[in-house]
């Protein structure tokens, strides 16, 4: 029987399978064909602004978003540009980096200078090349993980607008704990923190975010299947027939629906704050984000205590009424029970390779421009961590009336 219908049945599942493999292949090929550049960012010595300028930078960066025709998308594998926001600590000295397609260097520099006129941007070679391509090895060990969100994407993490000292009103920089954790390592150790981002179409908020608002407010209509009430109807008919043998059937009076109280009276104060944050978050530019962390060290100094310190610093973005980050279990470089050494080495080398390639495979989530600015920005003046390299002097332009000789 199957021999007579295989040519009808098999093409459907195989089409989707081969489509997935084909898109994966051509997209990887396309990404690897794009020339990239890595910029080291030296922030100004004194930044008296909140991370809001960085949020404006991410709003401007969303300008790279465009729509592709079927030829570009399915034959050439063209994708919206990827940007990698990176923090790297080398033996306690923390540097800021951003990696981008070379074609968008001018756009990135223009938007950064617009928000931070005294910033210094320098093209550098990739710091990853200073580490052997195969890690772990005889000299180096590593621990790494991807991160994921605890709740659905539209629910925001605790953002910079909620980091404020209650008495003085002074901003508490959410980046300070991360920089402190990265600055505590010593000789032979490195910590890398990476966020690979790609802008997502503005329609995401209406398509994916709005349903969560409707569920939260009770406006979402419950979908019932065509057989949802069959059982109740059958029982009702049988009971009516039975009652009919003993006398007239009385039809049940239609119950009057009570008017539902207004939403503002049904929500608690905390729920109102959650709803406000949710609606605000889905109204911003958003990015598909791949977040990962690596701790590398020479074997003689490798200390997993630094892992706990860094992961603990990520916990400060948690708001249990909203959202938070957590390590993605399937990516953590651990292995238990059987073949532990080979499985552990496989996981370590896989996450190291993905970091090197700025790969987006694995767990991803959506962050708004405000959330991104909270996680990656330049430290506020109150951050006194000596591990950060800052610009010594302000960036200025030559006088307009300078004589040309």
- 101 in any annotated domain: yes
208 φ, ψ (degrees, to nearest 5): -105, -30
pTM of the model: 0.83
How does residue 382 score in pLDDT terms, banded at 50, 70 and 90?
A: low
Number of domains in the chain: 1
Question: Band of the pLDDT at 50, cuts 50, 70, 90?
Answer: confident
**Per residue in 366-375, pLDDT tens?**
999 999 999 9
Of the listed ranges 70-74, 122-126, 342-346, the one predicted with least confidence? 70-74
Structural domain containing residue 187: 34-126+135-211+268-375
Q: What's the CA gap between 108 and 72, in Å, rounded?
A: 24
What is the rounded average pLDDT of the residues 35-47?
A: 90
List pLDDT tens digits, range 191-227. Answer: 999 999 999 988 888 788 888 888 777 776 655 555 5
**pLDDT for the residue numbered 379:** 87
Specify if 65 maps to a domain.
Answer: yes
Does the residue 336 lie in any domain?
yes
CATH code (residue 105)? 3.40.462
Q: Tell me whether residue 22 is in a domain.
A: no
Q: Is the pLDDT of residue 344 over 60?
A: yes
| In the predicted structure, residue 405 carries a pLDDT above the cut 50 | no
Using only C-alpha atoms, the chain has a radius of gyration, in whole angstroms, of 28
Angle at 118 between CA 398 and CA 403, to 5 degrees: 0
331 domain residue, yes or no: yes
Residue 383 domain-assigned? no
Angle at 275 between CA 271 and CA 277, to 5 degrees: 115
- Which tens digits make up the pLDDT trace of 179-200? 999 999 999 999 999 999 999 9
Q: Locate all alpha helices (DSSP H) within 198-320, ordered by sequence.
A: 204, 210-217, 230-244, 263-266, 269-281, 305-314
- Classify residue 155: in a domain, yes or no: yes
Q: State residue 335's pLDDT score.
A: 87
Residue 404 lies in a domain: no
Nearest CA to 348 out of 127, 134, 132, 86 is that of 134
* Residue 134 β-bridge partners: none
What is the pLDDT confidence band of residue 255, given thresholds at 50, 70 and 90? Answer: low
């Amino acid at each position: 029987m199957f021999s007579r219908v295989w040519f009808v049945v098999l093409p459907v599942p195989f089409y989707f399978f081969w489509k997935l493999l084909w898109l994966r292949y051509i997209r990887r090929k396309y990404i690897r064909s794009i020339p990239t550049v890595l910029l080291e960012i030296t922030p100004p010595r004194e930044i008296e602004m909140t991370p809001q300028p960085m949020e404006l930078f991410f709003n401007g960066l969303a300008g790279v978003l465009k729509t592709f025709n079927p030829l570009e998308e399915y034959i050439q594998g063209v994708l919206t540009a990827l940007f990698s926001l990176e923090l790297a600590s080398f033996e306690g000295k923390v540097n800021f980096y951003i990696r981008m397609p070379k074609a968008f260097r001018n756009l990135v520099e223009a938007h950064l200078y617009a928000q931070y006129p005294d910033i210094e941007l320098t093209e550098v070679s990739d710091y990853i090349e200073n580490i052997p391509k195969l890690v772990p090895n005889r000299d180096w060990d590593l621990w790494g993980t991807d991160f994921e969100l605890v709740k659905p994407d539209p629910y925001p993490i605790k953002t910079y607008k909620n980091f404020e000292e209650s008495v003085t009103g002074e901003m508490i920089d959410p980046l300070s704990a991360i920089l402190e954790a990265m600055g505590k390592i010593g000789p032979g150790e490195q910590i890398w923190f990476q966020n690979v981002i790609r802008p997502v179409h503005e329609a995401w908020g209406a398509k994916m975010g709005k349903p969560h608002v409707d569920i939260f407010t009770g406006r979402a209509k419950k979908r019932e299947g065509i057989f949802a009430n069959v059982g109740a109807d059958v029982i009702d008919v049988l009971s009516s027939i039975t009652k009919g043998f003993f006398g007239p059937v009385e039809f049940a009076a239609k119950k009057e629906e009570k008017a539902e109280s207004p939403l503002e009276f049904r929500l608690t104060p905390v729920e109102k704050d959650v709803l406000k944050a949710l609606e605000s978050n889905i109204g911003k530019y958003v990015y598909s984000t791949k977040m990962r962390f690596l701790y590398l060290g020479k074997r003689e100094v490798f200390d997993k205590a630094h892992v706990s310190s860094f992961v603990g610093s990520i916990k400060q973005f948690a708001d249990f009424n909203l959202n938070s980050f957590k390590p993605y279990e399937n990516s953590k470089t651990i292995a238990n029970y059987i073949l532990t050494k080979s499985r552990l080495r496989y996981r370590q080398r896989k996450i190291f390779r993905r970091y090197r390639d700025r790969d987006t495979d694995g767990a991803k989530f959506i962050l708004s421009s405000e959330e991104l600015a909270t996680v990656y920005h330049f430290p506020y003046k109150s951050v006194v961590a000596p591990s950060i390299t800052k610009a010594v002097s302000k960036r200025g332009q030559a006088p307009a009336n300078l004589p040309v000789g």
